[in-house]
Structure 1
Amino acid sequence: MDFRVLGPVEAHRGGLQIPLSGSKVHTVLAALLLAKGRVVSDSRLNFLLWGWEPPATSGAQIYTYMSRLRKLLGDEVRIERRPPGYLLQAPDSAVDLLEFERLDRLGRAALAQRRHQEAGALLAEALGHWRGTALANVTEHLADAELPQLEEARMHTLENRIEADLALGRHEQLTAELTGLVAQHPLREKLRAQLMTALYRSGRQSDALQSFYEGRGLLADQLGIDPGEALGATYAAVLKGTRGPGPGGATRPARQEPAGPVAPSTLPAFAGQLVGRDAEIRTLRTQLAESVAGRGPRHLLVTGMAGVGKTALAVHVAHAAAGDFPDGRLFAELSEANGRPRGPGGVLATLLRDLGEPLEESDTTPPDAAEQDGRRRCEDLVRLLRARTAGRQLLVVLDGAAEGRLLDPLLAGLQGVVVLITGRTRLTQVIGARTTALSPLGAPASLDLLAAITGRARLSAEPDATHELLGYCDGLPLALRIAGSRLLARPFWPVARLAQRMAAPENRLRELSYGGMDVGAALLPSLHALPSPARSALVRLAGMGAEPFPAHRAAGALGTTEATAEQWLEQLVDGALLDLCGVDLMGRPFYRFHELVLLFAAGLPAAPRTGPRSPAAR
């Protein structure tokens, strides 16, 4: 049995979720689990279920909830009546909170002993057990009583993980994460000190000082206090121009590593929360374990439309699987910032440098090299990478694959290594790979993601506006993150204000652009990768709407034959700009556009008709 409280309260048996209905049953189960083998008294249960005014029949209702839980959980779990209350015993079960606490203890011990690489991996794995806001489906009485200490424990773990990453010299990777965390927790001094450290070590001394001044002003205005010792020591260290403050405010070199060889890890930092992807996380963790054990293929794919969260999922799983890859975890981007694919030579060189190979610029293929010379140098890099990775238990994440043929030299150099690839297309050239296809989030997960950014109370205060806002984002994680970030940056805005701004379809994509995140810009590489006829078809199908449609209906809108229309539709499917959503009785496919893709297509310039005209048009 697998119990979870670090998110919605859930119980799982054999990988399948046990249906628990109602906040009261979830509350009773959570109270028993949080007691960690101690008796929960009747009076405590009364308060957690109904607050200070329990009904006259509270005892009978609690008995009913306990009986219901016994039936649902089966013989693996014993719920016993132990005056003055109830006791849950499940010796063979797993509880995510207990596993989080175990990993946190190990991580803190490693951090105290300056085993920073190990500490960072353990603490990241601990944070990986969080699936959003803890106790998300219990009564407000239980949430008010237990959630603050759980959130504080999570924040301490997060701060310790960041401390380990700073000690390993990952300040540039941490800057964006810390900027967001300080915006969410502006009075948390340790986070602000860590942000100042990361900024200073990234050559941004003025930004580090500005962060201090902002924090000092907030502490004075809201709490009437001066910065504490740690934040003050960080400020002094930045002013003096030292390499950066260490734990407790002492100065030390920017990079400290444990003695002996350190397994390389170039994964982007991850805060530990990934909402709505529990099934995909479990699938990928299982597949990685099977790959390591030699029971499955060594190539795994994560596909889906732009903005659906492929990279976030891959990075989350790679962090969580640290223990399976003692020789390191590498991350390489396969696309430039403009969406164009990187040449394989540059990616091979990046991976080799990450593995400690002292390559010079002349060792890699320059952009204007002759084709034969460039191919020869690429082959040399493949052989070198194969030699450096032979016999090593490595995980390599290749992010943003656009063309399967560009993967061939990379996979040739990574023979025997487990490779996790993300990309918009199906990448059928990667033979034998297991594919996890990501879809947009459902309504509950969309709400959880938005609430994780803005706070649930703010959304609960405006349920109608929140419902509209979720509908406009249509389950796309990137859109939800943008909307949540805009609300977080404007705490005085009602949710209804942003919903009203997004209500007009012609304004929606413009509103879904903030802080370097942009839904329209994310979709552009998918458009550019399409063949010209499919690109024209996308523009002309913008009026089809979000309802499913068959190929013959698209043929009428395009003025072409059904066979040609289906060919273009399949190209749109391969480019992750159109979904297959079923078949009719004859086995013919039905297609459906994501609403934001339709708005994106509607804003593109009209294209001339391609292909033969229909008889009616002649």
Structure 2
Amino acid sequence: MPVTSLSSTLAETLTTAREAACLTQEDLAERSGVSVRAIRNLETGHTSRPRKQSLLLLAKALGLPSGEIGRLMRRPGTGHHPAPPGLVPAELPAAPHHRLVGRATHLRSLQSHLSAAQDGSTGRPAVVVGPPGAGKTALVLKAAHGVRDRFPDGQVFVDLHPNATTAPLTPDEIVPRVLRSLGAGPVADHPEEAAARLRDALSRRCVLVVLDNVDSEAQVRPLLMDGSRNAVLVAARRELPALTGQFRQHIDVLDDGEALRMLEDLLGSARTAAERSAASRVLRFCGGLPLALHIAGLWLSGRPHRSLRDLADRLTNEQDRLRFLRVGDLSLEASVAACYSSLPAPVRAALLRLRKRSGDFGVDDMLPEVTASPGMAADLLDELIDRQLAHAVGTVTGGRRLYRLHDPVRQYVTYGPVGSWHPERVTGQVWLPRQAAHSG
């Protein structure tokens, strides 16, 4: 039954129209394709900025003229009343100014997910994961800036582990940090009380929270709430399998064509074409990692008198490569070092014992140098893959699976600051797989 008269608010109009049509929220969700949660949030006024497409679908399902939806969205009282400007955090670091080559699909997917989270139709965190230097932070910031206008109560940014010389933030440190950003008053001393205060503050806000350099699910969980209008965007150094329902985006190295386009964006196609052979060497030495390519391009663009061959020659020696892939405060070695510093000691020891393997290896190749147990060798490999330090490269005859350390990781443990360490010195700690360590 069409509704011809408008109520004073969008919430009232939607509720009146649905009840007049003798539909439950579930019936309307099935008829319109809009989730039950989104409909519930619209009818209770918890959605601050409704998505136009959702409203059009609801209007069609209820027989409402679509033109009336636009007028309702502009009426006083139907929108969100944001906090005063002085209480609205705007903490996002600047987004990358360069084009994120090879990441367009990931970027669109993230922004679409975050926009849906804002209207309450999904409470799933968005997680970007990939190896060191893959450009996780750049992608996350680009996505966050693209949707920040959808979160009128602000954007909170927390770097949980900015470098290898500081300890990662614990969940009990993250909660008061976010509370202070939201201006939620005095922070309780007791962790459970602080977490409850954070949930209460978030329940009444429409905030985008961005967490960089996340290492565990426990660092993210305090920010997750069912039915909220907030969104959580995570750049993770490892897989976070215990975050059920997460919207996961895995990014990897760029292919040859994408890597060349990135270098051309930084240097110009004419300069790279003039030294095609040297450009190919630079691309090979950077291994398709966006951070390495970005550093190489900035190094050359800041030195127009230097040739691509000059840089290629500097990077030829693998022993010096990480040291030379540095410009200003950007460093591929620092990115790997921060990941390495957060590893459990037995996993670091396994890396040190694997450093001599520049090629592929399997579980059998880890015996007995890395560990004497085939089961433990398989678990260690899972941990290295989970932490984006190694990757599977294929199988050989008999179904034997092969793996390889990511090149910058192998170079760091071989030639970097830890290259002279002896794994035998790492003693007194027993490593357990994540599922065993976290059970009970």
TM-score of the superposed pair, with normalisation by structure 2: 0.69
Counterparts of 1:336 and 1:516 in 2: how far apart (Å)? 12
Q: Which residue of 2 aligns with 1:490?
A: 303
Say whether the 8 Å CA contact 1:505–1:599 is kept in structure 2.
Answer: yes
Q: Which residue of 1 aligns with 2:206?
A: 393
Match of 1:608 among 413, 417, 424: 424
The answer as to 2:94 corresponding to 1:269 is yes
Matches within 5 A, 1:513-592: 513-546=326-359, 548-555=360-367, 558=370, 560-582=372-394, 589-592=401-404
Counterparts of 1:345 and 1:610 in 2: how far apart (Å)? 29
Structure 1 pair 428–271 and aligned structure 2 pair: CA distance change class (3 A)? closer
Deviations, residues 268-317 of structure 1 (Å, cap 9, x unaligned): 11244322201211221232233334444421111112221111111101
What amino acid is the match of 2:422? A
Counterparts of 1:413 and 1:398 in 2: how far apart (Å)? 19
Say whether the 8 Å CA contact 1:298–1:416 is kept in structure 2.
Answer: no
What is the root-mean-square deviation of aligned Cα atoms in Å? 2.9
Matches within 5 A, 1:234-253: none
Q: Which residue of 1 aligns with 2:313?
A: 500
Unaligned 5+ runs, structure 1: 1-257, 365-373, 612-618
Match of 2:181 among 354, 357, 370: 354
What amino acid is the match of 1:468? R
Q: CA deviation at 1:265?
A: 2.3
Q: CA deviation at 1:588?
A: 5.5
Structure 1 pair 499–336 and aligned structure 2 pair: CA distance change class (3 A)? closer
Q: Which residue of 1 aligns with 2:133?
A: 307
Q: Which residue of 2 aligns with 1:34?
A: none
2:356 aligned counterpart, secondary structure: helix
Q: CA deviation at 1:358?
A: 4.8
What amino acid is the match of 2:386? D
Counterparts of 2:239 and 2:310 in 1: how far apart (Å)? 39
Q: CA deviation at 1:419?
A: 0.6
2:219 aligned counterpart, secondary structure: helix
Relative to structure 2, which stretch is displaced further, 458-467 or 270-279?
Answer: 270-279
Counterparts of 1:390 and 1:561 in 2: how far apart (Å)? 49
Structure 1 pair 441–415 and aligned structure 2 pair: CA distance change class (3 A)? same
Say whether the 8 Å CA contact 1:393–1:417 is kept in structure 2.
Answer: yes
What amino acid is the match of 1:456? S
Structure 1 pair 295–581 and aligned structure 2 pair: CA distance change class (3 A)? farther
Say whether the 8 Å CA contact 2:207–2:231 is kept in structure 1.
Answer: yes
Counterparts of 2:227 and 2:301 in 1: how far apart (Å)? 42
Structure 1 pair 339–283 and aligned structure 2 pair: CA distance change class (3 A)? farther
Say whether the 8 Å CA contact 2:92–2:141 is kept in structure 1.
Answer: yes
2:367 aligned counterpart, secondary structure: helix
Counterparts of 1:331 and 1:413 in 2: how far apart (Å)? 21
Q: Which residue of 2 aligns with 1:403?
A: 216
What amino acid is the match of 1:444? G
Counterparts of 1:610 and 1:355 in 2: how far apart (Å)? 42
Q: CA deviation at 1:424?
A: 0.6
Q: CA deviation at 1:585?
A: 7.5
Counterparts of 1:435 and 1:261 in 2: how far apart (Å)? 33
Q: Name which one, 1 or 2, has greater alpha-carbon Rg.
A: 1
What amino acid is the match of 1:266? E
Residue identity (%)? 32
Deviations, residues 567-594 of structure 1 (Å, cap 9, x unaligned): 2111211222111344568765432222
Structure 1 pair 325–428 and aligned structure 2 pair: CA distance change class (3 A)? same
Q: CA deviation at 1:409?
A: 3.0
Structure 1 pair 582–419 and aligned structure 2 pair: CA distance change class (3 A)? farther
Say whether the 8 Å CA contact 1:297–1:434 is kept in structure 2.
Answer: no
2:133 aligned counterpart, secondary structure: coil
Higher helix share: 1
Q: Which residue of 1 aligns with 2:116?
A: 290
Q: CA deviation at 1:607?
A: 1.7
Q: CA deviation at 1:423?
A: 1.2
What amino acid is the match of 1:401? V
Say whether the 8 Å CA contact 2:171–2:218 is kept in structure 1.
Answer: no
Q: Which residue of 2 aligns with 1:441?
A: 254
Counterparts of 1:507 and 1:332 in 2: how far apart (Å)? 33
Say whether the 8 Å CA contact 1:291–1:297 is kept in structure 2.
Answer: yes
Counterparts of 1:609 and 1:567 in 2: how far apart (Å)? 22
Say whether the 8 Å CA contact 1:308–1:439 is kept in structure 2.
Answer: yes
Q: Which residue of 2 aligns with 1:60?
A: none
Deviations, residues 141-165 of structure 1 (Å, cap 9, x unaligned): xxxxxxxxxxxxxxxxxxxxxxxxx
Matches within 5 A, 1:87-236: none
Say whether the 8 Å CA contact 1:306–1:526 is kept in structure 2.
Answer: yes
Q: Which residue of 2 aligns with 1:321?
A: 147
Counterparts of 1:558 and 1:343 in 2: how far apart (Å)? 30
Counterparts of 1:266 and 1:552 in 2: how far apart (Å)? 48
Counterparts of 2:219 and 2:102 in 1: how far apart (Å)? 32
TM-score of the superposed pair, with normalisation by structure 1: 0.50
Counterparts of 1:336 and 1:469 in 2: how far apart (Å)? 28
Matches within 5 A, 1:60-71: none
Higher relative contact order, chain-length normalized (CA < 8 Å, sep 6+): 2
Deviations, residues 342-382 of structure 1 (Å, cap 9, x unaligned): 133443333233323355xxx47xxxxxxxxx5x1x33332
Unaligned 5+ runs, structure 2: 1-81, 428-440
Deviations, residues 546-572 of structure 1 (Å, cap 9, x unaligned): 4x4322233365363432221211121
Q: Which residue of 1 aligns with 2:230?
A: 417
Q: CA deviation at 1:259?
A: 12
Structure 1 pair 586–388 and aligned structure 2 pair: CA distance change class (3 A)? farther
1:566 aligned counterpart, secondary structure: helix
What amino acid is the match of 1:328? G
Q: Which residue of 1 aligns with 2:267?
A: 454
Q: Which residue of 2 aligns with 1:330?
A: 156
Q: CA deviation at 1:513?
A: 2.2
Deviations, residues 42-93 of structure 1 (Å, cap 9, x unaligned): xxxxxxxxxxxxxxxxxxxxxxxxxxxxxxxxxxxxxxxxxxxxxxxxxxxx
Say whether the 8 Å CA contact 1:530–1:571 is kept in structure 2.
Answer: no
Counterparts of 2:403 and 2:342 in 1: how far apart (Å)? 20
